[in-house]
Amino acid sequence: MKKDQKVIDVGCGTGFLSLKFLEKAECFITGIDSSSEMLTIFTEKTKKLSLPNRICIKLEDAESLQFKPNSFDIVASTVTLHHLKNKYPTIKKIHNILNPKGKFVLGDIDIDTTGNTSDPKRMLKLLKWLKEEFALALTEGGTKAFSRMYDNGKKYILTDGEYCISFKQWKELCFKAKFSKVTVKSLADFKWFKVLVAIK
Ligand SMILES: C[S@@+](CC[C@H](N)C(=O)[O-])C[C@H]1O[C@@H](n2cnc3c(N)ncnc32)[C@H](O)[C@@H]1O
């Protein structure tokens, strides 16, 4: 990262990733999120730091992305874009708001939950993936573990507000949106979490 680069954190939440960027370099951060509660916490955090004019926090949906073309050097987003049912229009907008050679950095869970919820083949595929999650919860035991299993079932089997796709599919969407180069990396400590970097 270079000083004064312009970064947008899409689905910034309470600012975890945005603040990591600022630790790395004196950049300009725009954080957008559709939840005012999340942004209130982020705003409170920034008040305790001395970062005048470095952070702009905005209530905005990732599907809207109302910024001028060529506005950012980096568009970053972690565990947010799987919430969008229709992802391609946002990927296109991300490509549009990036500067030439700008980077789109996506961190998310690598699981394809698309398909019909009543399709037994899909269910089997998801259960293969979820059994490790469920086993972990069972080891912990108790109501917290049960609630995590229930939560995971709702999210991934019933796609309740979450529409995960594989990184193979993310990559295809990036190429379709005319990104020139796309790489995907796994993280050693997180089996299901991947990072994609796409260059405009
Ligand atoms: C799991 S949190 C991740 C927050 C942050 N990126 C991080 O890594 O700590 C997901 C965030 O996405 C936001 N979000 C969900 N759907 C969104 C949308 N359509 N547009 C913008 N933000 C959205 C939520 O409000 C929440 O803050």
Least Cα distance to 59 among 77, 39, 44 occurs for: 39
Q: What average pLDDT does the segment 63-73 reach?
A: 97
Q: What percentage of residues in the chain have a pLDDT greater than 90?
A: 70
Domains of the chain in sequence order:
6-110+165-199 (3.40.50.150), 120-157 (no CATH)
Q: Is the CB of 79 under 6 A from ligand 1?
A: yes
- Which of 176, 175, 195 is closest to 185 using CA atoms? 195
For position 66, what pLDDT does the model report? 94
The answer to whether 127 and 101 are in contact (CB under 8 A) is no
What is the residue type of 96? N
Establish whether residue 106 lines the binding site of ligand 1, counting it when its CB lies within 6 angstroms of any ligand atom: no
CB 158 within 8 A of CB 109: no
Q: Which atom of ligand 1 is nearest to the CA of 62?
A: 20
Q: Is pLDDT above 80 for 176?
A: yes
- Triad 94, 97, 98: Cα angle to 5°: 85
Tens digit of pLDDT for each residue in 102-150?
999 999 999 999 999 889 999 998 888 888 877 877 787 778 778 877 8
Alpha-carbon distances, residue 169 vs 85, 131, 145, 161 (angstroms): 14, 23, 31, 19
Task: List pLDDT tens digits, range 77-103.
Answer: 999 999 999 999 999 999 999 999 999
Ligand 1 atom nearest 107 alpha carbon:
8
pLDDT at residue 10, rounded to an integer:
98
Burial of 23 per CB tally in 10 Å (0-12, 13-18, 19+) = exposed
Whole-structure pTM value: 0.92
* Mean pLDDT to the nearest integer, 157-184: 94
What pLDDT is stored for residue 181 in this prediction?
Answer: 97
Task: Name the residue of 42, 65, 80 to mutate for ligand 1: max ligand atoms within 8 A of Cβ.
Answer: 80
Pocket flag, ligand 1, residue 62 (CB < 6 Å):
yes
CB-ligand 1 contact for 80 (6 Å cutoff): yes
Measured in Å, residue 34 CA sits from the centre of ligand 1 at 7
165 lines ligand 1 (CB under 6 A): no
Place of tokens 């957008």: 32
